Amino acid sequence: MKVLVPVKRVVDSNIKPLVKSDNSGVETDGLKMSMNPFDETAVEEAVRLKEQNIVSEIVAVSIGEAKCQDTLRTAMAMGAYRSILITSDELLEPLSIAKILQKIVEKEQPNLVLMGKQASDDDTNATGQILAGLLGWSQGTFVSKLELTSDKARVHREIDEGVQILDLTLPAVITTDLRLNEPRFASLPNIMKARKKPIETIALSDMDIKTTTRLEMLSVKEASTSREGIILNSVEELVEKLQNEAKVI
């Protein structure tokens, strides 16, 4: 079985990015970039399935500037066999990403697309669903447990009410929840080997895909900082403060 794993390059989740002073977006210059943690979970799951001989080939794909190569190298250091990089400097929306991935699926003919349920930067949580729709494939989203056979996937979905268990017919798009697994560390020898694994580069402009922007970002603001709390010793003190300081009662 062949698995395609799309991976996104995002600001590292340990970094607290700042909003640009003109509120036009988030300042990403000079920040540490990493693989979207949800995608890391997807790569890890694919590698585990390969170790169990259920999956035979893992192909990682990333879309964006040339530096997405680093993200693909990480995927390959974890265990992906080869990579495809679609180069583009455009800011792409989920629909455009899904259209690009659809083309790659048609080219690579995987049985399964395993991808993060969302990216930790824009949190849209849409690309997997759109891709499944475009392909007319089954979809299992927010997956925290995956059992795979040659033509079926049983997925445990994390939903508001609890866990929903679904059986899907392959081919399918499965989007991963962080609970699915704990990704491995890429070891130094594997990082070295990954530097020699192949990355096929395709320019988006050569792909004949319309990437019209449909969303307009109006402004980005920092979340308002909550006021510092204090611990009071008695109800009387609270009433006193509400009356005299807050003047609400």
Partner 1 sequence: MSESAREKMEFDVLIVGGGPSGLSAAIRLKQLAPSAQICLIEKASEIGAHIVSGAVLEPTALKELFSDWNSRGAPLETPVKKERIMYLLNDRKSIQIPIIDWMMPNMVNEGNYIISLGDFCRWLASEAEALGVEIYPGFAGSDLIIEDNQVMGVLIGDMGLDKDGKPGSNFTPGMELRAKYTIFSEGCRGSLSKKLISHYNLRKKSDPQTYGIGIKELWEIPSDLHFPGYMQHSFGWPLDDNTYGGSWLYHFGKNLVSFGFVLGLDYANPWLSPFGETQRVKMHPALKKHFKGGRRIAYGARALSEGGFQSIPKLSFPGGVLVGDAAGFLNMPKIKGTHTAMKSGMVAAEAIAEALNSAQIEPVNYQKRMQQSWVWEELYSVRNIRPSFAKFGAKLATVYTGIDSMLRGKVPWTFHHRQGDNTKLDPADMSQPVCYPKPDNKLTFDRESSVYLANIDHRDDQPIHLKLKNEAIWKTVNWDVFKSPESRYCPAAVYEVVNADVEPTLQINSQNCVHCKTCDIKDPTQNINWETPEGGSGPNYPGGM
Closest contact distance (angstroms) between CB of 146 and partner 1 is 17
Closest contact distance (angstroms) between CB of 11 and partner 1 is 10
Residues that bind partner 1 (CB under 8 A): 12, 14-16, 18, 21, 29-32, 182-185, 187-189, 191-192
Q: How far is CA 190 from the centre of its chain?
A: 23
154 neighbors 166 (Cβ within 8 angstroms): yes
Taking the least distance from each CB to partner 1, the nearer of 18 and 215 is 18
Q: Which of 131, 71, 85, 76 is nearest to 106 (CA)?
A: 131
Closest contact distance (angstroms) between CB of 243 and partner 1 is 25
Closest contact distance (angstroms) between CB of 181 and partner 1 is 9
Taking the least distance from each CB to partner 1, the nearer of 15 and 159 is 15
Taking the least distance from each CB to partner 1, the nearer of 33 and 209 is 33
d(CA 18, CA 22): 11
Closest contact distance (angstroms) between CB of 67 and partner 1 is 12
Taking the least distance from each CB to partner 1, the nearer of 27 and 167 is 27
d(CA 248, CA 204): 59
Taking the least distance from each CB to partner 1, the nearer of 214 and 227 is 227
Taking the least distance from each CB to partner 1, the nearer of 73 and 99 is 73
Closest contact distance (angstroms) between CB of 176 and partner 1 is 16
